[in-house]
Each structure stands twice: as structure tokens, then as C-alpha cells.
Amino acid sequence: MTTSVIRPRMSHLQQAMLSLYWFGTNMHWTAILLITLPKQAFLIGGDAVKGQTLGVVLLIGAFVSMIVAPLFGALSDRITTSFGRRRPWIVAGTVMNIVGLYGLAFFPREGDLSSLPLYIVAFMWVEFWNNVATAPFSALIPDVVPKDQRGSASGWYGLMSMLGNFVGGVSALIFTRNGVTDLTAIYYLIGVLLFLGMLGTVVFVKEPPAPEHLPPFRLGEFLRGLIGPLRDHDFRWVFVTRFLMVMGTFTVQEFLQFFMRDVVKDFTLFGKQMATNAESAVSFFIIPRPRVRTRLRRISSGGLGAGERCPAL
């Protein structure tokens, strides 16, 4: 017979700390995907092949993410330690992720395509270990939050996501001097904030005891579990619409820096210079606008978000 787990109520501080790791992760990926990765693709491949260089790196990284995330999410369901089911993966994944940031910072050589393979290896390493951490982390909210607090916990989750995106986006503004963006300094900032986010979450969040009888990991059952949700009509629609939204966003977002460099070129607004290079100009797309959608229903606001993107294209 299955018994329900009674989850103690969480204070606002505990809910904030639960999502603090998501702040670090969102800062991490926003800074890399919008600022450092496009710039380094330009440095490695030069103006002629910068788009192909960036596309190859993103394609390989996305493939790693697709494989690793569901696998380690499933493993964290089935493996338990005295430190918990999720936290060991979060700690190990974060530490190894930070090691990979060193490679992203120092492996690329300007105008040298021979440095691209090593850079791709570093990016694969970061993708691998980041997903080792974030897939189990994603299960923490349903693990530890009582049902009647999941709305407020999700609110903290969303707030930390936005703050992480903001800090990652404006990092180029912070570290640009005389028209030159210090990418190494951005990587150091990423590492520090990712580590602090991890530390806050694993210290303040106490996992509930794992079920006494955990199911063993079976590959066939795991693979069937990936396909099973698609049989549900509503989930299929969620999956398809999410796929289209993310595909559209990432098709444009990662190449925005090239658009600013090649097409816009003049980073002035009403006669005032707003940025000195393409990296810092991209930051202005991250600065949040007034959130008029907060009064709208969730489904309507999602449609509004999609509608906002279409004229921009």
C-alpha cells in the first residue's frame, strides 16, 4: 500500500533558497549563450564562418543535453544516499560544471579553427555536468514543497529565473571597458554565482526520506517512460507548443549578437550611445520591461508572449 509523504511547510526564505540554484543556472546559460559563446565563435571562426562555428557547437551541446538530462533524472529517482537523492548530483554536477568553464574561458584561440575541437569538448563537458545537476534539481520542488505551497514555490522559481537571466544578460555591460568585453571575467562571475546558488540550495533544503523500496533502473522501462507521456492528448499539445516556442527562441537568440554586429552596427538611441560593441548591445534585450502580462491568465499570457516575438522577427 502506498502512503503519502507529509511535507513540512516551508518559509519564504526556504522557498527562495530552494530556487537559488536556478538563479545561478539561468545566469550561467544566459551569459554563455548570448554573450560568450557567440563572441568566441566569432573569434575562432572569423567573420566568414562564425555562424557555422556557432551552429556546430550548439548542435553538439544540444545532443548531449537531450541524452543526459532524462538519464540522470531517472537515476536520481532510484539511487539514494545519506545526503539525499538529489543533492549529491547537484553538488557533483555543479563542481564539475565549474571545472569546464575554465576550458571555455582559455581553450579558444583567435583566428585558429584548430582550437575549435577542444572548445567543443569543453562545451560538451559543461553541458554534460550541468544536466547531471539540473535534472535531479528539477525534482526538488515536488519532492519537498507541500501541495498548497507549490504556487508560491513556483513563483520563487520564476523570480529566480528572471533574475538569473537579467544578471547573465547585463554581465557584458558590467565587464566591457573601452569597447572590449572581458570574457574571462564573465566566466569567473558565472562560476562564483553558480557555486553560491548550489550552496544555498543544498544547505537550506532538506530532502524528505526516500521511499523504502526504490524501483531498480531498467533501460527498457526507462525508454518506454520517455514515450508514454506523448500518448496523453494534453501533454502532446504542451510538448509540441513548447518545442516550437523554444526552437523559435533559440534560432534567433543565439545569433542576435551577429545581427547587432553585422546589421545594426550603430549602437545609439536618440543620439546617445548605448553600447560600445555587439556583446554589450545584446544586454539591452535582457533588461526586463514592465510585466503587463501578470494580470492575464497563464494561457493568455503565453499567447501574448508568442505574439510579442512575431513582429520582432
C-beta separation of 172 from 186 below 8 A: yes
pLDDT at 275: 78
The pLDDT of residue 244 is above 70: yes
| Grid coordinates belonging to 117 | 575541437
Average of per-residue pLDDT values in the chain: 84
Output the DSSP codes for 158-180.
HHHHHHHHHHHHHHHHHTEETTE
pLDDT at 288: 52
C-beta separation of 14 from 194 below 8 A: no
The pLDDT of residue 304 is above 90: no
The DSSP element (H or E) to which 269 belongs, if any, is strand 268-269
Higher pLDDT, 80 or 116: 116
pLDDT at 186: 96
Which of 14, 74, 53, 97 is closest to 254 using CA atoms? Answer: 53
Residue 17, classed as helix, strand or coil, is: helix
Residue 208 CA from chain centroid, whole number: 26
Higher pLDDT, 250 or 53: 53
Q: What are the CA-CA distances from residue 258 to residues 15, 20, 45 (Å)? A: 38, 32, 13
The pLDDT of residue 6 is above 80: no
List of residues 6+ apart from 31 with CB closer than 8 A: 168, 169, 171, 172, 186, 189, 190
| Region 244-261 average pLDDT | 85
Which of 130, 126, 103 is closest to 40 using CA atoms? Answer: 103
Phi and psi torsions of 2, nearest 5°: -90, 130
Residue 5: pLDDT band (50, 70, 90) is low
d(CA 281, CA 158): 25
Instruction: Give tens-digit pLDDT for 168-192.
Output: 989 998 998 888 889 999 999 999 9
Residue 144 CA from chain centroid, whole number: 22
With a threshold of 0.75, does the pTM exceed it? yes
The pLDDT of residue 202 is above 90: yes
pLDDT at 55: 93
pLDDT at 294: 42
Instruction: Give tens-digit pLDDT for 60-83.
Output: 999 999 999 988 988 888 888 888
Min mean pLDDT across 13-22, 39-48, 232-241, 293-302 is at 293-302
Residue 134: pLDDT band (50, 70, 90) is very high
Alpha helices in 205-287 (DSSP H): 219-227, 233-253, 256-259, 278-282
Q: What are the CA-CA distances from residue 223 to residues 52, 139, 227, 228 (Å)? A: 33, 19, 7, 9
pLDDT at 189: 97
Quick one: what percent of the chain has pLDDT higher than 70?
89
Residue 241 CA from chain centroid, whole number: 19
| Region 242-265 average pLDDT | 85
> Looking at residue 260, what DSSP letter applies?
I
| Region 128-143 average pLDDT | 92
d(CA 87, CA 282): 34
Give me the residue spans of the domains in the chain: 12-217
Could you say which of 3.40.50.10800, 1.10.533.10, 3.40.1790.10, 1.20.1250.20 is the CATH number of the domain covering 12-217? 1.20.1250.20
d(CA 141, CA 233): 25
d(CA 145, CA 152): 10
